[in-house]
Copies of this chain bind each other. A is one copy, B any other.
Amino acid sequence: MTARAMLNCGLTDLRLVRPRDGWPSDSAVAASAGAAVVIDNARVFATTSDAIADLTLVYAATARDRAMTKRVVTPGAAARELRAAVGHTCGILFGGEAKGLNNDDIALADHIITAPLNPGFTSLNLAQAVLIVAWEWHMAGIATPESDMRIPEDTRPATKEEMLGLFEHLEGALDQSGFFHVREKRPIMVRNLRNLFQRAQPTEQEIRTLRGVIASFLHRMTPKKD
């Protein structure tokens, strides 16, 4: 699950210190759900010191109060610092709080990462902790628009001419249906309807669908009796 969370976020260098259940591990391969590149390239070390010897900047992820004097950062802050540490080889230590990362491991780290979770329920498994930190690292390095309109490839946003065609088609139909029977209210109702459809930001295809809807009503309508 850790390998999977890493690869989701573009991280591939997994280092294991004395893995409890041995290595290689068939159950790790199964849980990785296809993140084979991470599993296959994982390296096993006898000690935490060996595992981090070539790194220059190391964070340790822990939520427990270790009674140490050490700088603590959020996952987001750590992500931005790691991204800014150009030219440094960096690593993050993860491990079970009880039997994994001990205080000697933590003492090897430059800083601590703590996710400020719901104080009433902070229990995270290791892969979830990795996912949160890796996610922040990933997001700190990509420029994705926060919001975007997704449109199927076979269509495009409607032009204003197409919108106007829809409006006039609809308003003409509503003139026939008697919807605008209070004449002085027609302008405001037209504006409201136009705003509503404008807000929906229809595609060219949807304009055709809407005009089909109107045409179907018109087809079934009996002529208005004045």
- A10 & B118 in contact (Cβ 8 Å cutoff): yes
On chain B, the residues within 8 Å of A150 by CB distance are 65-66, 68-72, 112
Nearest Cβ on chain B to A115's Cβ, whole angstroms = 8
| Closest B residue to A73 using CB positions | B147
Question: Do A117 and B9 contact each other (CB < 8 Å), given the known contacts A76-B146, A77-B146?
Answer: yes
**Main SS of chain A's interface residues?**
loop
Nearest Cβ on chain B to A156's Cβ, whole angstroms = 10
Select which of B9, B34, B70, B128 is within 8 A of A5 by beta carbon: B128
Distance, CA A134 to CA B147, complexed state (A): 18
Residue from A72, A118, A151, A203 whose CB has the most chain B CB atoms within 10 Å: A118
User: Which residues between 81 and 117 of chain A lie within 8 Å of chain B, taking CB atoms?
Assistant: 112, 115-117
Distance, CA A112 to CA B5, complexed state (A): 22
- A152 interface hit (Cβ, 8 Å): yes
Chain A contact residue count (CB 8 A cutoff): 53
Question: Do A71 and B149 contact each other (CB < 8 Å), given the known contacts A7-B118, A122-B8?
Answer: yes
| Closest B residue to A149 using CB positions | B71
- B121 & A152 in contact (Cβ 8 Å cutoff): no
Question: Do A139 and B9 contact each other (CB < 8 Å), given the known contacts A149-B69, A150-B112?
Answer: no
- B139 & A69 in contact (Cβ 8 Å cutoff): no
- A47 interface hit (Cβ, 8 Å): no
- A117 & B8 in contact (Cβ 8 Å cutoff): yes
Can you offer 22 A-B residue contacts whose CB atoms are under 8 A?
A8-B117, A8-B121, A8-B124, A9-B117, A33-B123, A33-B125, A34-B123, A68-B152, A69-B201, A70-B149, A71-B148, A71-B149, A71-B150, A72-B148, A74-B139, A76-B139, A77-B146, A112-B150, A116-B144, A117-B138, A131-B132, A132-B135
